[in-house]
Amino acid sequence: MLTRIKTTSKDWLLRAKNNRLFISTLSVSIFVILWEVLPRAGLVDVSYISQPTRVLAAAFEEMFVEGVFWGHLYVSFIELAVGFILSLLVGIPLGLMIGLFRKARYFLDPPLMALWSTPRLALIPIFIIWLGVGVESKIAVVFVGSFIPIIVNTVAGIRDADISVIQAARSFCAKKRDIVIRILLPTSLPSMMTGIRLGLGRAMMGMVVGEMYVSTKGLGYQIMQYGEAYRMDQVIFYVAFVSLSGFAITNSARNLENRLLKWKEG
Amino acid sequence: MAHVSVDSLKVIYKRPQDGSSFVALEGISLTVEKGKFVTIVGPSGCGKSSLLLAIDGLIPPAEGHILVNGKEVTAPGPDRAMVFQEFGLLPWRTVLGNVRFGLEMHRRKEIDLDDHAMKFIRLVGLDGFENYHPNQLSGGMRQRVGIARALAVDPEILLMDEPFGALDAQTRENMGDELLRIWNQEKKTALFVTHSIDEAVFLADMVVVMGRGKIREILNVDLQRPRTLETKDTSNYIEYRRRIRSNLRD
């Protein structure tokens, strides 16, 4: 039975919020129920689409009975973390340099633009030739995917700098270093954060696809292995895990962004 | 000795795109005594802001000299502070942080920056708003932050570039009164750029009338202080205003 919340017209905002939560929950529930019921009713072949209960059972088995899940998670995590941290370490300073120095921009623009317009996943075979089928080639894929949006957005952030603020800083005897650290860095922060968030999404994609291409371990590797064996329950578990954790990671990045940039809202 | 003296100043802007240049100021000579309130009035594009920026040391003279206390100006210095038309506030800093900014840049270590900044926040009537960010404030309040920031570094010379340009008429008048009160209390030399003839006469000891990059006239304003609303009804005030207006017209 649905509980009907008593509201006055003033509570329309609250009501809209409740409505949204309710309707969204409803849509998910309907999907899950149909997914469970349709194969049971014999309307769809369960080996094609699996079932929520089967996926949960597969999850339980992978995580706790056989326990193989954790090893693959660890490998994927290392690839993602190392590749992404590298892209921060390279992307932010490079972005700042390009944003600050015209000559650096002229010098670095061509190679970066070339890389920007290359489908990065097409580089996977090259990385495998160079770095082997292990963790290293995946780190490279993650890195290449995520450092370019970080650079591009950092540069854009510096270009956003307000001339009148810089002039004011100079008027108060700010040195060049002060202008870079106290004005340009904070100015570019919002856009830089957007770049980091976009980079994170691409990093995850690079990780999974890289593992699916050639590897010996990792979440993507598992998806590929189970896929080739037509084991739909396990495939869906791993895909769902990747997409949910991706959602969680980008969401927390967005939350962090909003918290750091409180001054932007009026 | 004059506090500020400008001698046959010429300022040229160059456009980097095509190398063309534009003469913003030419043959500007001007002497300002200590503690005086000088207004610079003229139509948009007459070079009045450029004159202020040059005195602040933000743009270099192409010819001529600017002396402050007898010393040549080559860069911004702690003896001058500027209030900008577009405020020039740091949006990620609070009111307190913005007022502190000038002090931080001047590397003032001997005082408690927060205490000192708060003193000037109170002076401009913004106490209670010290933890607000600029975009949570009205235009008039933002400009007060700009004024507090400039006053807090304790400059000898206060340079103001159309500080009330973005304000409505009512706020503008109140801010003018407020500014005179603060100026009177702080005993600064003030240079104030405006395009409002009224404002120019009401605030000034001396009005510099400008047009097309040149000084047209320098007028000493001999009106009693403190100035009030009644000042604006005196025949002297009306005569000054008329004279400036007719000068700007031809």
DSSP output for B114-139: HHHHHHHHHHTT-TT-TT--GGGS-H
Q: What is the pLDDT of residue A17?
A: 66
Query: Does residue B166 surpass a pLDDT of 90?
Result: no
Q: Regarding beta strands B206-211 and B37-41, do their DSSP bridges make them parallel or antiparallel, or are they unpaired? A: parallel
A108, A53 contact by CB (below 8 A): no
Angstrom distance (rounded) from CA B27 to CA B10: 6
B56, B159 contact by CB (below 8 A): yes
A151, A118 contact by CB (below 8 A): no
Average confidence (pLDDT) over B147-173: 88
Q: What is the pLDDT of residue A9?
A: 55
Q: Which of B80, B87, B105 to mutate to test the interface with A (most CBs of A within 10 A)?
A: B105
Inter-CA distances, B210 with B3, B4, B162, B192, B195, Å = 21, 18, 14, 13, 10
Contact residues, chain B, for A174 at CB < 8 Å: 105
Residue of chain A with shortest Cα separation from B79: A172
CB contact A186 to B (< 8 Å): yes
Q: What is the pLDDT of residue B89?
A: 94
Per CATH, the number for A67-203 is 1.10.3720.10
Q: Answer whether A183 sits within 8 Å of B90, measured CB to CB.
A: yes
What pLDDT tens digit does each residue of chain A (266 aa) get? 455 555 555 566 666 667 888 889 999 999 999 999 999 998 889 888 999 999 999 999 999 999 999 999 999 999 999 999 999 999 999 999 999 998 999 999 999 989 888 888 889 999 999 999 999 999 999 999 999 999 999 999 998 888 889 999 999 999 999 999 999 998 898 899 999 999 999 999 999 999 999 899 999 999 999 999 999 999 999 999 999 999 999 999 999 888 888 777 65
Q: Which domains does chain B have, with CATH numbers?
A: 4-79+155-249 (3.40.50.300)
Inter-CA distances, B112 with A216, B81, B236, Å = 61, 20, 46
Q: Which of B55, B101, B161 to mutate to test the interface with A (most CBs of A within 10 A)?
A: B101
CB contact A260 to B (< 8 Å): no
Strand partners, B214: B211
Q: Answer whether A172 sits within 8 Å of B56, measured CB to CB.
A: no
* Side-by-side strand order, sheet with B37-41: B80-83, B157-161, B189-194, B37-41, B206-211, B214-220
CB contact A172 to B (< 8 Å): yes
Q: What percent of chain B has pLDDT over 70?
A: 100
Average pLDDT, chain B: 91
Distance from the Cα of B213 to chain A's closest Cα (Å) equals 22
Task: Note which residues in 42-81 of chain B have CB less than 8 A from chain A.
Answer: 56, 58, 75-78, 80-81
Residue of chain B with shortest Cα separation from A188: B92
Dig out the tokens for B159 from the structure: 């340079």
Average confidence (pLDDT) over B71-94: 93
CB contact B84 to A (< 8 Å): yes
Contact residues, chain A, for B80 at CB < 8 Å: 171
Q: Answer whether B101 sits within 8 Å of A189, measured CB to CB.
A: no
